[in-house]
Chain A
Amino acid sequence: MRYLPLTTDDRRQMLHAVGAESIDDLFVDVPEAARLSGPIEGLPMHASEMAVERHMSALARRNLVAGEVPFFLGAGAYRHHVPASVDHLIQRGEYLTAYTPYQPEIAQGTLQMLFEFQTQVARLFGCDVANASMYDGSTACWEAISMAGRVTRRKRAVLSSGLHPHYVSVARTMAKFTGDTLDTAAPELNAMTDGERLLAAINGETSCVVVQYPDILGRIADLSAVAARAHEHGALLIAVVTEPVALGAIKSPGEMGADIVVGEGQSLGVGLQFGGPYVGLFACKDKYVRQMPGRLCGETVDAEGKRGFVLTLSTREQHIRREKATSNICTNSGLCALAFSIHVTLLGEAGLRTLASINHDGAVRAAERLGKVPGVRVVNDSFFNEFVVELPVEARPVVRTLADRGILAGVSLGRLYPGEESLANGLLVAVTETTTADDIDALAEALEEVLA
């Protein structure tokens, strides 16, 4: 077997050296009844690289590849161009096959990268500090709610109706077990976000207000008033960013008073990958750093006084604090954080701003074009690269019909909000730098035909 270097002769010598007659002697602690005498039945035996590749490629071919068709899906996962050097660099064995940097003298590569990543995330979000990443945006969002509970010692969170429904679901699952109360609502198909609802819901028992920015329907609203009201009542404002490219164009949540900003970093460097692995971003104000979940990398010096980096403030974490830890998270999303960081470094501030402009201008162009399709109404006033159109019919079957015609038209709100009839005609359309003018025309023309 190509991954196993021991030869038959090695095994014999080594068994002899450990005083065992056969390999079974080393499994003596396993009760007789639980020992399997041979390979598990019904499963295939080992296979060549070629055979495995053939099998996997056949499965891959049964999927409709986003890059091969006009493609408009978003809703928390966006298709952006990832520069070739990103994937090349993250495949270097020194990154790919390293462990968590617990031995800093021989992990400065990962550690310095994480320090740079933390700084990039903090600046993008307008916060003081960021951690070394979480699993993804949805789990980062719950961790933020949980952290706000620790900071305020309250257990009632107010969630904006514009928060991604999967993120709401995750929070709901967790809250069921932790005893937190979540004030939630479904969004309405109009241009206004639910700022008024949030302002009314905040009171002296509120631990935090959670607002997505831009929200699930792509709408952009100033967070300042909600921040002020939350702070008046001793609550924290958590902002959730599922499309970080937007922050190359619009103000950061930190600038508008958010205390914790979390997000999904998939857009930069990571790719679609059918939903994972992605990378959770987590940033906050300095004063809350000891309540943060996850790993943190910090600067220090070595015995010769040279600058170096280490994982720090580890006493917050499970391997030391055990049942009193701020979170049970251990593994994070290091390699995706690296991909994110390399992509942001390649872009730089100028590149990110240009990228954001291309996304936005493309989306404006698409909104104008789709708005001209008879019966179709663009719901948003404001948006970055994603907006909702209301169709004259239920959107979900339209999406399926267009998929058959080789167009991935967007995410129907029926998929995201099953059972919410008021949203059923909504179609969420995302446009990125990978979308061409021809793609937009193809979508508009196909819609015209299907709706005719």
Chain B
Amino acid sequence: MQQKEDWHLTEKVLHELGRGDPFAAAIRGTRMPMMITDPRQPDNPIVFANQAFQDLTGYSRDEIIGQNCRFLQGPDTDRDAIERLREAIRAETPINVDLLNYRRDGSTFWNALYVSPVRSEEGETQFYFASLLDVTERVEAHAAIAVQKSDIEAQVQSRTADLEAALETKSLLLHEVDHRVKNNLTMVGSLLRLQARAIPDKALRVTLETMLERVDALATVHRRLYQNRDIHRFDAGAFAQDLTSDILAGSGRDDIVLETEVASLQIRAADATALGLILNELIVNAVRHAFADERAGTLTLKVYREGDMGRIMLCDDGPGFAIESVGETIGRTLVSRLSRQLRAETVWRNANPGTCVLVSFPVAE
């Protein structure tokens, strides 16, 4: 009770500046809005509010004293925050909570409220001490940032959707074009094959069939293009193996055994056609000349990488031949011109037995 009487003393001192308890004077004079409530009175009324509190809320002392501090709340004050505050007061524990409060003139401010119980030596809660901090700017800045953030997220989402749609269109288009190229190549092959069948002259037919083999080599390239996720790269190793198997199968020569040792070798997709045509000439030559006259044997294909060079080696165990002496002129010209185009080097050597041809070219990183 003594303490309560002291309190009344400071209430009086308020009107007599310069006298009384210096702590009470400090609380009265501080720029921070503060108040004290008395939980022992019905409805825990405010028994003290300093000048800063009056300045912040616009209420005069007479209007404040005796009120429960809920008189600062209004329709937009968050119910959950109020509930947390009530709970803390019921439990007599300190609490920090941001509340939207209303001034006397109806305007609002964000109040970072701190309330803590003041206990007697016996541990009984005698008062609640509360400090208020106007954090409207901070809260509004946060809200503005949240709005901006969600705006930006919406924009990013919409842009991403646009890009995805564009990509989808592009993939569809690539797919469609790829499909048409393949169909047209199939038609070219079919046309040539049908024509070759109808030609009685053997030499002419052989020439046409040679053309057909080249078109087939292009077809094999195209079947492999765009199979990877990376449409700019082409696996020359798998392709060389495909093409060699295809040509051997097509020759009907099951007496030629194919041995392969093939690593994956990525080249630029743009170089695939030229490489395909070169390999086609080399393989066809080997089949025609190394294994002529139904001679059985083994064809060895090796694809590997050495430093930044890719190498494709094709060896037969035939009687050996010189490139100058075999194949039609156009075949040799194709190999030499296309090698130059690929910055590749194509060399034959006598392997005794047989012949090896080695194509070396720079590989894509």
Binding between chains A and B: no
